[in-house]
Amino acid sequence: MPRTVTIPDRAAERARWGRRPGGPILRTVTLSPTCPQCGGPRGEPIMRCQFEDGETYAIHTWANPCGHVDHYADLLSEGDR
């Protein structure tokens, strides 16, 4: 079953850096429940509070049982499909 997670969009943050007020840009994306590298299950998402540059925000994090790391940029691309 697909899962919906909230993650930071670092590329969008960099694009506006120095032109607009700071703060995180968060995206909600729907992902496959399987690791794109090996096809094993993804870890269960957990909502975590982050503190960065004076801002507090909540994003999902998880650890895949297979040990493969999901990078935010890849997740944003996967969520666009």
| 20: pLDDT strictly greater than 70 | no
For 51-73, the pLDDT digits (tens) are: 877 788 999 999 999 999 999 99
Tell the burial category of 64 from Cβ atoms under 10 Å away from its Cβ (0-12, 13-18, 19+): middle
Domain ranges of the chain: 3-80
Query: 42 vs 24, which has greater pLDDT?
Result: 42
Cα 54-45-3 angle, rounded to 5 deg: 115
Has residue 80 got a pLDDT over 80?
no
| 22, 55 contact by CB (below 8 A) | yes
pTM of full prediction above 0.85 = no
**Is 90 exceeded by the pLDDT of residue 81?**
no
